[in-house]
Amino acid sequence: HKPQSVWGAANVAQSRLMRDLKEVTENPMPYIVAHPLEGNLFEWHLNLLGQKNTPYEGGIFHMSLTFQNDFPYSRPSVSILIPNGIPHPHVINNKICLDLLNDFSFHFSPSRWTPAYTV
């Protein structure tokens, strides 16, 4: 169930983001490095390394993840922060069009987002 108060929601979000930070620090994901900005737990920056044998091989793709105060009950937003973006059919104006993310949520009903998803 979704928290009702803004304060309660923000506490839930902070607690969850701290838990997710601990997880990505202790168990790093291959090809991805992600951490919150200093002083702002609700904005993370990540680098995604292009994998071998793909058109993105050798690339380093810098992105930001922005979380709302009611995370994990709401989807995060992802922005691509490299000058020319990423040439991909699901990237529009440096935003990723995916039903698990917030930026194009109006296109997807119902969403497949669940609070069980982690950073």
Q: How many CB atoms lie within 10 A of CB 94?
A: 16
Tokens 């983001």 appear where?
17
Query: What tokens were used for 67?
Result: 């979380």
Distance CA 94, CA 107 (A): 17
How far apart CA 112 and CA 80 sit, in angstroms, is 22
Q: How far apart are CA 49 and CA 33, in angstroms?
A: 9
Give me the catalytic one of 10, 81, 86, 97: 97
* Known catalytic residue at 14: no
**Taken in order 43, 32, 94, 116, is the CA torsion positive or negative?**
negative
Active centre residues (catalytic): 97
